[in-house]
Amino acid sequence: MSVFWKVFYIGVIIIEFITIGFYGYILYRKKVFEKNVLGTAIHIDPLKKENLVVSSEGQLAYFFESKPNILDKEYQKSWLPGQIVYTINTDSLNERYDYAIEKPANAYRILTLGDSYTFGHFVNTSDNWTEVLEDLLNTQVRCKNSTTFEVINLGERGYDMDYSIHRYMKRGQKYRPDLIVWLLVENDFFNINEEFFGKLHEIEKNATKEELHEMEASGDTYRFWRQAQEDMKKRLTDKQIFDHQNSVASRFLQQIDMPIVLLTFPNLSNPHKKQMSLWPFFNKNISIRIQHQLPDIEKENGTYKPNDFHPNATGHKLIAESVFDYFLKNDIIPCETSRSGNLQ
């Protein structure tokens, strides 16, 4: 074989290797991209769905709760202080402990309702305001008629008013609380999950790989949620939403027979403050108190702003201290108390 043909065949072999290598690289990149977008490497949903139990219950088609008995590890985010872990107890609650259904003798039991701000999204369970409040009550208050305080947290990420109340009926009322505390934020007054989640699922299903990748790169994990909320607002009038939320609040407040404290942050809009002013008239047989003056945690560096507006550990501590002070100054807890720990 002449030198020419040897060089020719060697050249063909080299070209084949280059072609195979190029297409192998393209295939590898495609698989990596698909894994990052559709697998565990990319996280574009504010909720970790694999750790939730979704079930249709009554009129609620999309109701969900955390899976019981797990350590729910939050997705890693560059702006979080480290690995965040939610300790979910046997009753699906974000709690350090399991609580006996039958209330212990001489215990004063508080039950908290709400969405992610009550659940404690993006803080470890022990740093949540409900846990800090429980510790404050047990270390700084002594009562003649109550030796221990229990604060049982029914808050869950993504809940609206309907879901919070359903969870109380499903999980909370069996604990027979002495007091209910419900933290409400602005979006609780316009979000209706049964009108929202159907559209959210449709948006997620139709999302392109490129869109998911861009959302991950930009950190815009709430984009689909905003789109679903905007769609809901186009379909429902302000009056329809107002009437629905008032109906939900009225139904709940007429069902309970224990005092309740409704908490909001100072930035709650005036229309929603006026809306809440109607609620004490829904049940005049119980004490319904409204506290609009939780601390402005955003001004106190108590949030993850600009990445996220949920409270950080500092914000939760500020909330707990504010609620604790409100309890003492307004005689919410019906016993003689002393911060010093001495019986009065």
Q: Mind listing the pLDDT tens digit for each residue in 264-287?
A: 999 999 999 999 999 999 999 999
Q: What is the CA radius of gyration of the chain?
A: 26
Query: Rounded distance, CA 187 to CA 185, Å?
Result: 6
Taking 60 as the threshold, does the pLDDT of residue 108 lie above it? yes
Between helix 313-329 and helix 129-140 the angle, nearest 10°, is 50
Residue recorded with tokens 């992610």? 116
Q: How many CB atoms lie within 10 A of CB 43?
A: 14
Q: Count Cα neighbours of 188 within 13 Å in the Cβ-side half-sphere.
A: 32
Taking 50 as the threshold, does the pLDDT of residue 103 lie above it? yes
Amino acid at 220: D
Averaged pLDDT for residues 197-206? 91
Taking 70 as the threshold, does the pLDDT of residue 289 lie above it? yes
Amino acid at 11: G
Peptide bond into 311 cis (omega under 30): no
Looking at the chain, how many residues does it have? 344
| pLDDT tens track for 299-320 | 999 999 888 899 999 999 999 9
Question: 3-state DSSP call for residue 85?
Answer: strand
**Between residues 298 and 28, the one the model is more confident about:** 298
Residues 6 or more apart in contact with residue 26 via CB below 8 angstroms: none
Most confidently modeled of 13-22, 101-110, 200-209? 101-110
Q: State pTM to two decimals.
A: 0.85
Query: Rounded distance, CA 136 to CA 134, Å?
Result: 5
**Between residues 144 and 96, the one the model is more confident about:** 96
Record the tokens describing residue 342, joined without a space. 């001495």
Give the pLDDT confidence score for residue 218 in this predicted structure: 80
Query: Rounded distance, CA 152 to CA 107, Å?
Result: 12
Compute CA 232 distance to the chain's CA centroid, rounded to the nearest angstrom.
20
Strand partners, 194: none
Query: Rounded distance, CA 62 to CA 108, Å?
Result: 33
DSSP element (H, E) containing 289: strand 288-291
Per domain, the residue ranges of the chain are 1-41, 49-329
DSSP element (H, E) containing 255: helix 238-255
Give the pLDDT confidence score for residue 16 in this predicted structure: 56
DSSP string, 170-224: IIIGGG--SEEEEE--GGGGT--HHHHHHHHHHHHHT--HHHHHHHHHHT-TTHH
Taking 70 as the threshold, does the pLDDT of residue 41 lie above it? no
Record the tokens describing residue 94, joined without a space. 């974000």
Record the tokens describing residue 147, joined without a space. 């030796």
49-329: what fold? Rossmann fold (3.40.50)
Do the strands 288-291 and 260-263 form a parallel or antiparallel pair, or are they unpaired? parallel
Question: 3-state DSSP call for residue 290?
Answer: strand
Query: Rounded distance, CA 141 to CA 246, Å?
Result: 36
Query: Rounded distance, CA 113 to CA 261, Å?
Result: 10
Give the pLDDT confidence score for residue 341 in this predicted structure: 45
End-to-end, the C-alpha distance of the chain in Å comes to 110
Amino acid at 227: Q
Taking 50 as the threshold, does the pLDDT of residue 32 lie above it? no
